[in-house]
Homo-oligomer: A and B are copies of this chain.
Amino acid sequence: MTDVLESPLTRKLQVFVALSEVELGVLKRLHLRRRSFAAGRDLVHQGQSDQAAYILAAGWVCSYKLQPDGTRQIVDFQIPGDFLGLRSVLLRTSDHSFEPVTDIQAAEVFADDLLEAFEKTPRLAAAILWAASRDEAMVVEHLVGVGRRAADARMAHFLLELGARLKLVGMGSKKGYACPLTQYHLADALGLSAVHVNRVLRQLRESGLLTFRDGRVTFDKYDGLVELSEFDPAYLDQTGPLLK
């Protein structure tokens, strides 16, 4: 990447806050330490402390919590432009693990650099915390889904949400998107068994709503999905309120 303007993070933040030259400069400095990681090899393990944070540039990651009984709950997926482990930096401890779903590219950010950037450019800090708040709202939405939605609505809601997020960084549309997740990932995220995920996907396919195939999600009947899952994207596309 030659220009910070091409970074998905910059792109996302610009939606909320018009960033100044200085702020872009700081943001650029945060992008310097570029690293790659292979799919399936955890970046951070639960319980580790003093970790760096990452800005995801390419590829997908999931954050999850491992249960003592071996099952896991995926808390969220990160796509390009998302922060990884912001909380573990602020709290100096990590309470969940990160696994790259695909091979990924990420910029490593040390706690000190981040805190310094926050100090120098509070507007940037606000923008980043804004994004973090949005992520938290997503976790809440996720909780509602797992607690109160039937399996099919849960699946539809999840895939729609992912689509909306991808659209924000130019990686998807109302037609569908490329999706590297396996049915096991879906199961771990939605609190279902892999077998049931398969059943639900078949059901959705047969009722002409969506197709999940060959690493691609296709929305065959977008409106029908929205209705089934009662999807309301309000919590995703609030336009930046804190600063103009």
- A5 adjacent to chain B (CB < 8 Å): no
Chain B residues closer than 8 Å to A238, beta-carbon distance = 91, 93
- A223 adjacent to chain B (CB < 8 Å): no
Q: How large is the interface on A (under 10, 10 to 19, 20 to 34, 35 or more residues)?
A: 35 or more
Chain B residues closer than 8 Å to A130, beta-carbon distance = 90-91
The answer on a CB contact under 8 Å between A95 and B140 is yes
Chain B residues closer than 8 Å to A230, beta-carbon distance = 67-69
- A235 adjacent to chain B (CB < 8 Å): yes
- A113 adjacent to chain B (CB < 8 Å): no
Digit string of A119-153 for contact with B (CB within 8 Å is 1, else 0)? 00000000001100110110111111011110000
Chain B residue nearest to A69 in the complex (CB):
B230
Bound Cα distance from A114 to B4, whole angstroms:
33
The answer on a CB contact under 8 Å between A144 and B242 is no
How many copies of this chain?
Answer: 2
The answer on a CB contact under 8 Å between A93 and B139 is no
CB within 8 Å of B: which A72-114 residues: 72-73, 75, 87, 90-93, 95-96
Query: Beyond A67-B230, A139-B139, A230-B69, is A91–B133 a contact (Cβ under 8 Å)?
Result: yes
CB distance from A52 to the nearest CB of B (A): 15
The answer on a CB contact under 8 Å between A142 and B143 is yes
Chain B residues closer than 8 Å to A91, beta-carbon distance = 130, 133-134, 137, 238, 241-242
Choose among B93, B133, B148, B234 the residue that contacts A87 (Cβ–Cβ < 8 A).
B133
The answer on a CB contact under 8 Å between A234 and B133 is no
CB distance from A75 to the nearest CB of B (A): 5
The answer on a CB contact under 8 Å between B143 and A95 is no
Query: Beyond A67-B144, A93-B238, A143-B143, is A87–B191 a contact (Cβ under 8 Å)?
Result: no
The answer on a CB contact under 8 Å between B146 and A147 is yes
The answer on a CB contact under 8 Å between B241 and A140 is no
The answer on a CB contact under 8 Å between A148 and B90 is no
Bound Cα distance from A92 to B244, whole angstroms:
13
